[in-house]
Amino acid sequence: MATQTAPTTNGVDAGQAYPTYDQSAAPAASAPHESAAPAATEHTTASNVAPTTNGSAQHSGASAAPAAAAAPAAAPEMSASEKKKYEKLMKKEQKDEEKSMSHALSDAKSSEKAAAKAKKAEQQALKRLNKCTKEEHKANKKFERAQTAHQKVLADKERLTKELEIKKNNTQATSQTYEKAKLNVDSTRKTNASHAQTRAQKQSEMGV
């Protein structure tokens, strides 16, 4: 940092000093294919503003001047072969991008068709399932009716079986009673015949 002497203004001492930045120390930024950035300039602060007697500030001539910057490095000009090679590379890159986009669109279209086909197959499967479910309900109702009828038939069969057993027992009992009655008739008939013969004999003996 260098020290400069401000000029005398309205009676101010010419020997009054104020600091300023060394302009030759500011680096100049440069990059290929870009314009060089200007060198950094001093900030206007109280340190580089010379006070005056009437309260106003003045910039020194040295601090107000822009810093010296190095001339920007000129971008090397491409040769014709390099330009052709670069253009070919750009065309190839564009062609590859178009091909990639074409493949992406083709894949998306195929995926869309596959998704639509799968959705249609799902709907058809659901339709068949609903139809089968309805048939199941109908068959179940028929089965329930048949099961009820079957249970009724089984109950009737059981009832009739018991009834037949009762009838058999009754038939057996009445048959036994009938056989006893027949024996009683035969016995009574024989007894009556014996009695009639005995009476007839007695009457004959008595001359009646």
What's the pLDDT score for residue 69? 53
Give residue-wise pLDDT tens across range 116-149.
999 999 999 999 999 999 999 999 999 999 999 9
In a domain, 147, yes or no: no
How far is the C-alpha of 4 from the C-alpha of 16, rounded, in Å? 9
How do 29-31 and 34-37 pair as beta strands? antiparallel
In a domain, 39, yes or no: yes
Task: Give pLDDT, residue 191.
Answer: 93
What average pLDDT does this structure show over 55-64? 42
Res 38 pLDDT > 70: no
Please indicate, yes or no, if residue 17 is contained in any of the structural domains.
Answer: yes
Say if 48 falls within a structural domain. Answer: yes
Asked whether residue 56 is domain-assigned, the answer is: yes
Q: Which of 4-8, 97-101, 182-186 has the lowest mean pLDDT?
A: 4-8
Q: What is the mean pLDDT of the chain?
A: 75
In a domain, 22, yes or no: yes
Report pTM.
Answer: 0.39
Residue 199 lies inside a defined structural domain of this protein: no
Instruction: Report pLDDT digits (tens) over 60-89.
Output: 444 444 444 555 666 678 788 888 898 999
The total domain count for the chain is 1
Q: Which range marks the domain in which residue 16 is found?
A: 2-73
